[in-house]
Amino acid sequence: MTKFKLLCIFLFSFFTFASHNFAFGQRFGYVDVEFILNKMPDYAEAQAEIDKISLQWQDEIQKKYKEIEAMYNKLKAEEVLLTKELRDEKLNQIRKEENNVKEYHRKVFGYEGLLFLKKKELVKPLHDRVYKAVGKVAKDNRLQMVFDKSGDLVMIYTDPIYDFTESVLDELGLSEENENETK
């Protein structure tokens, strides 16, 4: 029985020591993905295209709302000359048009709407490039975890020695040295 107890104590000590060393042996780093994306010319072009398309859709929707407002004003001006049935019919027609515009607005700007899909189409490949570069930098530096400084994760203190943003920029060919060479 004493050999069994000794074996249990040994195993318990071994796993406690091993897990303790494992926790302290992990390496962490962080990057600023937003900063990296803003350094990418493709990202600026994608953002400009998204802004342009968004403004076009906003103008189109505003124009439709102005047309509906004009329809309401015309109905109000003609109201005294119309029968109740004709007035109600025109009012229903205007409301139907108004609902169509609201539905179109939701289709364009709503959750997973056309604007969302366009952003996904244009920006996702850029995010994928950054994440691939982050993965390579993490492997090269033997990091177990890399955090995004610009994300929702709150970092109260960060030691710049663990900032791998420049390494990712180097991996993407966007470092300051590369910019100076191309000028």
**Residue 40 pLDDT more than 90?**
yes
pTM, to two decimals: 0.67
Average pLDDT over residues 93-109: 96
Q: Is residue 75 in some structural domain? A: yes
Average pLDDT over residues 110-117: 93
Q: Is residue 150 in some structural domain? A: yes
**Residue 8 pLDDT more than 50?**
no
Q: Is residue 178 in some structural domain? A: yes
Return the closest-CA partner of residue 168 out of 42, 44, 31, 39: 31
Q: Distance (Å, rounded) from C-alpha 141 to C-alpha 153? A: 22
Q: Is residue 16 in some structural domain? A: no
Average pLDDT over residues 112-125: 94
pLDDT range class, residue 62, cuts 50, 70, 90: very high
Q: Is residue 67 in some structural domain? A: yes
Determine the 3-state secondary structure of 147 from DSSP: strand
**Residue 41 pLDDT more than 90?**
yes
- Count up the domains in the chain and report the number: 1
Residue 1: in which H helix or E strand, if any?
Answer: none
pLDDT reported for residue 11: 40
Q: Is residue 20 in some structural domain? A: no
More confident residue, 86 or 12: 86
Q: Which of 28-42, 98-112, 127-141 has the highest mean pLDDT?
A: 98-112
Q: Is residue 163 in some structural domain? A: yes
Cβ atoms of 169 and 36 within 8 Å: the answer is: yes
pLDDT range class, residue 51, cuts 50, 70, 90: very high
Sign (positive or negative) of CA dihedral 52, 58, 61, 65: negative
Structural domain harbouring 95: 27-182
Q: Distance (Å, rounded) from C-alpha 1 to C-alpha 181? A: 73
pLDDT range class, residue 104, cuts 50, 70, 90: very high
Sign (positive or negative) of CA dihedral 145, 151, 156, 159: positive
pLDDT reported for residue 138: 85
Classify residue 91 by burial, with Cβ atoms within 10 Å: 0-12, 13-18, 19+: middle
Q: Is residue 1 in some structural domain? A: no
More confident residue, 176 or 45: 45
